[in-house]
Structures are given as structure tokens and as C-alpha cells.
Structure 1
Amino acid sequence: MPLLATARSRAGATLLGVLTGAALGVAAPAAAQPAAADSVLVWYDATAAAIAAGGAPTQVTNNRTWAIAWLAAARAQAGTHSAAGRRAALAGAVHQTLTTLIPGQQSPADATLAAELAALPDRQEVRDSVTAGRAAARRVLTERSGDGLDPASVNIPFPVPAPAPGVWQPTPPQYAPATQYGNRAARPFVLRSAAQFRPPAPPAPGSARYEADLAEVAAYGSATSTVRTQAQTDTATFWLGSSLTLYTPILRAAVAQSHASIADRIRLVALFHVAAVDTQIATSDAKYAYQRWRPVTAIRAGGDTTWLPLHDTPAHPDYPSGHNTYSGSAEGVLTGLAGPRAREPYTISSPTAPGVTRTYTDWHRPSLENVDARVWSGIHTRNADLAGIRLGDDVARYVLGHAQAVLR
């Protein structure tokens, strides 16, 4: 896939050139600090567990929780002067956010806080840092109040347009109402507007590119495909789950392997999720601006009236692919802040492929697999996937380029 490879190569080079310690206002990576690193991972796991157990039904709302908690923790680092103070500020910020946004998870959050504070010296600086973290969280929560990322606002009803060639319609077998229509009206963290990086229009129905893309999905994405290999089916199934669920262990690997300071690791988590939120806002803007029909609708309209995809089609337009905008954003942030390759191989699992794991050595391979997976699932055209990667990359580069403003 030359186009994808070119896009990602450009992204890595650009981000590594733009994002330096000076640009972020942080010190150069220091030697590993086991106690501080453990604390970051403790709260990382606590955040992931709270969201998994009691988070919102909408992915972007859960990314928002991550972003608020860790952005507050990043801001609270400015007033701390010791490792103990930095850990305490992190604890105060994340605990305050989780108990505010996911009150049903108060007990495990309290237990994590108690264990963390028990490991810190009982002195005024630690108590003040916890207070500073809490105050930072309350300020970010106030800033983000009414941002349109609550589940009800995200899924406001979409008036389905009249059927026409190329225009989205509800898809079989559920024919469910469209979702994520309200994302496009939500307030980004960093982007100037949801449409700031809107991709160009998808290929017109009947064009050579359109026909080639549709033929590929019809052949390789069919539920009864005779050309899709078992390996391709396995890839499609592995990457079927939510992007947040699949990328949580990928980001964790980057955090765990980093030799940077506690403050830098916190910033990595914060900026990853800030970019993820803004990417999803931009994705819905593009999806509902173009309202491109899904492959199943197009293939059936072309005469194959019983065609079904390998996996059920999500209830929103084809272009661009949301899985791939998320992947492009994730790869962009990880490449910019952690380098293009992991320090050591990392392994992830998938909720849609129980018992299966995959091991990677960089942040690029998951993007490549995501592009193929959505075609082989029969739910996206390749052009929608590649446009998604580019859009996510654009948002990531912009967020990292404006990191100082959001981290203050």
C-alpha cells in the first residue's frame, strides 16, 4: 500500500521534527525511575479499569474521561518539586476525575488512592500536591462542561436522507438508526473546528477508483467470500472491537517502556486522548458532511441483492473509517512522543478474538492491519480507510504542535 506507507513515513518524520522537549516545555528523557513509573502505571490501570467497569456507552465520552484526568494530572505537575509530589499530584487529579465522572467506581478509586498515599512520605508537600491535583481536575472539568461529548449529545437523531446513489442508508441486518451524528457539533480540545482537516470528497460513484474499491470489498469482505484467506479473516476479526479497547494496551506499552520522566509519561497519556477525542469529532464531521453509503448498500444496489459483509456494518456513513482515523491519530502521537518503534515487542489481545494475541514492534503495523481489516470485514472501502489514516495523522500533528497551549 504505497499511499499508506508514504503517509505514515511523512507523519513520523514531521512529528519527530516538531515535537521536542523544548516544544512541550519538558526536560529531556531521564534515567528510568521505577517508583514513579509504577505510579503512572497504577493510575493508568485504574483509569482503564474504571472505564471498563462503569464507563459510558459511547467511546468518545470515555476518551474524554481519559483526557480530562490525565490533562489535569499533567497540569498539576507544574507546581511539584519532587518525585513524591509528582506522584501525589497525579493521584489527586485522576482520583478526582474518576470519582466525579464515574461515581459508581468510587470504591476501587479510593482503594487505589489509599495504597498510593501509603507508599508516599506523610509530609505537607505530598498533601499539598494531592490538593493541587484535585484542583486541576476540577478546573478541567469546568472547562469541559457542556462540550457536547455526553452520550445523549453524541447520538442525537440523524434525519435519514432520501435514497440516492452514493447516499447513506441504514444497513442490514439491523437497519439501526445512525450513531455519532452529534460528535460533529462537540467542542474540540485543540482543533479550531471539527471541519479543520476535513478530507476531500470520496471518489464519485462510477469512477474507476470507486469501482475498484467496491469490487475489492465485494470479493474479500463477503460473508461467503471464497478468496479471503483464513489469515485475512483472523485480522478482520481481531480488529473488530472498539478502538479504545484495542489501543489501551498499546498506549500502556509505550508508557511502560518509556525512560522519560513521570511528567512526560503523563503528558503522553493526556495528549494521546486529547487527540483521540478531537479525531473522533473530526471523523463525524466528515462522515456526515459526505454521507457516503456503506459497501453493503452499494453492492446490493448494484444487483447482488443478498450480499452481506463478514461482520455487521456499524450504523454510520462509510467515509472516512473511524477505526482508521483513531489508528492514524494513535500512531501519530506515539511516533511523535515515543519514537517510531517500541523499545521492545509488546503483545495485545482483542475482545472480538478471545484467546488470541498479536505481538508488534512498532506503532505502524496496527495501522496497516486496521486498513486491511475493515475491507476484509466488508464494512469499509479501502479509500475510506486510507482517508481515515490521513485525517487522524493530521489531527495528531496539530495537537502535538499546539501541546503547550492545552497543557498549561
Structure 2
Amino acid sequence: MTPPRLRPALVTLSAAALLTVASAAPAAPVAASPAPARSSVVLDWYDTTAETVAAAGAPTQITNSRTWAISWLAAARATRQAPAGVDRGAFQDAALASAVHDALVALAPARTEALDAALDRTLDAIPDGYAEERGVAAGTRQAAQVLAARQDDGLDPASVNAPFTVPPAGPGVWQPTPPAYAPAVQYGNRLAKPFLLERADLFRLGPPPAVGSARYRADLAEVRAYGAADSTVRTSRQSETADFWFGSSLTLYTEPLRVALARSGQSTDRRAGLVALFHAALVDTQIATSDSKYAYLRWRPVTALRTGTIDPDPAWTPRHITPAHPDYPSGHATYAGAAETVLTALVGARTAPFELTSPTAPGVTRSYTSWRRLTSENVDARVWSGIHTRSADEAGVVLGGDVARYALDHSGRLFGRL
């Protein structure tokens, strides 16, 4: 049975409790505005993490999400360990820099030189003395402990893309998709060790609409019309939305999370906790996504439209190339639903306007004031790309929200033993 959803009020309370555990400072206002420009070790190391993942990251998104989660979980744990009698600010800056540095060096050794230089810059700005020394030691210790706890967790690229045997073709059954007809990917996610979920299938979705049902027919008709490469009904704005959200969710949500981090007004340890919880929840969301995908093995629209029994069109082609895994649910939608849930719980539903660009829509800049709009655009984009049904997108938002609420409600466990 699917566990009941947690009430939003309890989730918010639990999230607040997590951050209170990390710091005795008062909570920041929900409707945050841009803070005055100033040097921030938190933002410096956020940017360093993003640069490291971009330059030396793994070919699998969930592995890179793991890198973020491990690095910032170590930082969150280290920054709350300031002993009495030290300059708390100096201790926390040193602890965060040391923790993220050591974790990233272990996970992306090709970037060691750049990471060492970044650490030197941070420590050069901190007064020498006991607080700095203790902070560096705490960061080193926590990085080692989290890395050890997550060793062999099944989130390395080879494990993520574990071999999958494709079942015989049949109505609704996933098959490799054109043009490459590549083997299935991400099957191994469902076998990996979550950060907080008790098991991968804890929030497994109910089945997708039955093949031939009214909802199935409506879904297919929408993708046929709006998702085709040569669609005559998709508007230029809809095409732009499809292109904008076609890239990696991890890449596309790096800037929104940074905006939330910069505007939170919270202490160093609370902000480190925000980044850690966000990425731990998103690792678990990707694990749960793979579980539902490979439990139901629903075929992609391109297969249904080319070979199905409803007005088959062997030449139908989607706007974007279909990823090599099942339709239901959409991974972009689960990611968006989880991200929205975490950000809303920890920093509020709305913020001052911020701009966002996308590597898959060069020259396009969009402005946002809420996390919900990111989610709604993801849902539409996957239909207008021709690679998902709306049912798969909407179910994905539900699954992502369920996993994120669970992570928020159990987030205190992140700051003890894994």
C-alpha cells in the first residue's frame, strides 16, 4: 500500500526543526528579497561545487546529485560543531570549505588543483588560530565519515546503468526507441541505496492509464499533435518551452537553488543544510522514479504512435529525441515536484524575480518568481517535446512531492548516522 501523504504543515514544521537543530539562530522570513552583496563562503563553495560537477562530473545525473549531497551533508554536519569559546563565523567558514573541498577531491580528483586553490583562498581570508584549525579538522572529519558511509551505494555510473533485459514487444510495453534504439538506462537506480527512503518502492505510483482507455487516448492525441517535430499547432512559445527544459534537471535547477540559498538570510549551517537536504531528496527521488518506471515499463509515445493500434503513423517523429527509459513517470517532472516541495518548505513558495537560462535554448532568458512555475513548465515541456504523455508528467510531480515530503519529515536523520 502507498503510505499516506504527509500534511504540508507537518512537513514545514519538520523542515524548520531540522534547520533549528543545525543552529539556534531565528528562522528567516519566508518572502525573501535579495541580500546586500557581500563575500559569502557558502556561495563561493556552492559555485565551486557547480564548476567541479560541470568540469569533471559523471555521465549519469544521479551520480552528480550524489556528489552534491555528500559534499554538502559533510559541510552541514561540520558547521554545526563549533566548540565553545571560538569565533563561530571563522569556525563555520573553515569547516564548510574543508568539508566540501575534501569530499570533492575524493569524488572528482581531476579537479584537485583547482579545489586546493579555492580552499587556500577561503582560509587566507580567515584569521589564523584555534577557530580556523578546529573548523578545518571538523570539515575533514565529516567528509571522511560521509564518504565512508556512502561507499558502494550503487550510484556509480556502471551500477546506475546496470543491464536490463527488454521484455517481448506488446501493447503498452516499453521498447528501445528511435533513432538509436539504445539499451535501457537508469535501471540500476532502483537498486541503489537511498539517503532517507526506507526502500525504493515506498511511494511506487499506481499504474498508468490502461492502453485504449479514454485518458490514454487523450494523452496520445495531445502528444501526436503538439509533440511532433513538424507540429502545426504547437506555438513558438511552446516550442521554446520544450527546448528550454530539455536539458539535465540537475543543471537547470542549479541556479534556482542558488537563488534560494543567496536570499535565505540564514546562518552558514542552515544554508549548508538546505543544499544537503535538497540533493539528498533529489537522489531519493531519482531512485523512486526508476522504481516506478521499471515496475510498469510503459512504452514511449513514439512507439505507441508508430506501432500502436490507434491510427499508427510509422513516420511520426518527436521534436526531441526520446531518452532510453520508460515513459511513466517523467523523471523531469519528479525532479521538479521534489525540488518545488523542498524549496517551498525551507524558503517559501515565492521569491523576488530571478532570471534563468538553459543550455538547450541558447539566447533565451526567462524570469520567475515562484518554484511552482518551474514545475508547470516541466510538465508541459515534456509533452511538447513529444517524449512523454501528460499522465506520466503529472504522476511524476506527485511522486517527486511524496518523496520530498518524506525526506523533509525524516531530515533529522541526515545529521546523525546515515
Please give the TM-score of this superposition, normalised by the length of structure 1.
Answer: 0.94
Q: Deviations over 1:227-274 (max 9, x none)?
A: 100100000000000000000001000001111111111111000000
1:380 aligns with 2:393: no
Q: CA 1:18/1:406 → structure 2, altered by over 3 Å: closer, same or farther?
A: closer
Q: Is the 8 A contact 1:233 1:376 kept in 2?
A: yes
Corresponding residue of 2:343: 334
Corresponding residue of 1:324: 333
Corresponding residue of 1:60: 62
Corresponding residue of 1:229: 235
Q: Is the 8 A contact 1:70 1:270 kept in 2?
A: yes
Instruction: Give 1 or 2: higher helix fraction.
Output: 1
How much has 1:127 moved relative to structure 2?
1.0
Q: Deviations over 1:75-108 (max 9, x none)?
A: 1122115011011110110000010000000111
Q: CA 1:117/1:30 → structure 2, altered by over 3 Å: closer, same or farther?
A: farther
1:272 aligns with 2:272: no
How much has 1:357 moved relative to structure 2?
1.1
RMSD value, Cα: 1.8
Corresponding residue of 2:400: 392
- Cα distance in 2 for residues equivalent to 1:263 and 1:37: 16
Residues 173-322 of structure 1 mapped to structure 2, 5 A cutoff: 173-302=179-308, 303-322=312-331
List alignment gaps of at least 5 residues for structure 2.
Answer: none
Q: CA 1:23/1:354 → structure 2, altered by over 3 Å: closer, same or farther?
A: closer
- Cα distance in 1 for residues equivalent to 2:375 and 2:353: 16
1:153 aligns with 2:159: yes
- Cα distance in 2 for residues equivalent to 1:33 and 1:84: 21
Q: 1:76 aligns with which of 75, 78, 92?
A: 78
Tell me the SS of whatever aligns to 2:368.
strand
- Cα distance in 2 for residues equivalent to 1:223 and 1:347: 28
More divergent stretch after superposition (231-240 vs 30-39):
30-39
How much has 1:19 moved relative to structure 2?
2.7
How much has 1:17 moved relative to structure 2?
4.5
Corresponding residue of 1:5: none
Q: CA 1:261/1:367 → structure 2, altered by over 3 Å: closer, same or farther?
A: same
More divergent stretch after superposition (299-308 vs 93-102):
299-308
Q: Is the 8 A contact 2:18 2:411 kept in 1?
A: no
Q: CA 1:22/1:384 → structure 2, altered by over 3 Å: closer, same or farther?
A: closer
How much has 1:34 moved relative to structure 2?
7.1
How much has 1:275 moved relative to structure 2?
0.4
List alignment gaps of at least 5 residues for structure 1.
Answer: 1-7
Q: CA 1:13/1:225 → structure 2, altered by over 3 Å: closer, same or farther?
A: farther
1:359 aligns with 2:367: yes
- Cα distance in 1 for residues equivalent to 2:124 and 2:320: 48
Q: Is the 8 A contact 2:79 2:268 kept in 1?
A: no
Q: CA 1:24/1:171 → structure 2, altered by over 3 Å: closer, same or farther?
A: farther
Amino acid in structure 2 at the alignment position of 1:335: T
Amino acid in structure 1 at the alignment position of 2:357: S
Amino acid in structure 2 at the alignment position of 1:76: A
Q: CA 1:210/1:265 → structure 2, altered by over 3 Å: closer, same or farther?
A: same
- Cα distance in 1 for residues equivalent to 2:208 and 2:111: 43
Amino acid in structure 2 at the alignment position of 1:395: V
Corresponding residue of 1:43: 45
Please give the TM-score of this superposition, normalised by the length of structure 2.
Answer: 0.92
Q: 1:29 aligns with which of 27, 30, 40?
A: 27
How much has 1:20 moved relative to structure 2?
2.2
More divergent stretch after superposition (18-27 vs 160-169):
18-27
Corresponding residue of 2:123: 117
More divergent stretch after superposition (29-38 vs 322-331):
29-38
Q: Is the 8 A contact 1:37 1:262 kept in 2?
A: no
Count of residue pairs brought into register by the alignment: 399
Amino acid in structure 1 at the alignment position of 2:15: L
Tell me the SS of whatever aligns to 1:20.
helix
- Cα distance in 2 for residues equivalent to 1:314 and 1:294: 9
Q: 1:87 aligns with which of 89, 93, 96?
A: 93
Tell me the SS of whatever aligns to 1:389.
helix
Tell me the SS of whatever aligns to 2:152.
coil
1:349 aligns with 2:347: no
Corresponding residue of 2:12: 16
Q: Is the 8 A contact 1:325 1:393 kept in 2?
A: yes
More divergent stretch after superposition (294-303 vs 29-38):
29-38
- Cα distance in 2 for residues equivalent to 1:308 and 1:295: 10
How much has 1:12 moved relative to structure 2?
5.8
Corresponding residue of 1:104: 110
Q: Is the 8 A contact 1:11 1:393 kept in 2?
A: no
- Cα distance in 2 for residues equivalent to 1:30 and 1:204: 47
Amino acid in structure 1 at the alignment position of 2:339: A
- Cα distance in 2 for residues equivalent to 1:195 and 1:212: 28
Q: CA 1:39/1:152 → structure 2, altered by over 3 Å: closer, same or farther?
A: same
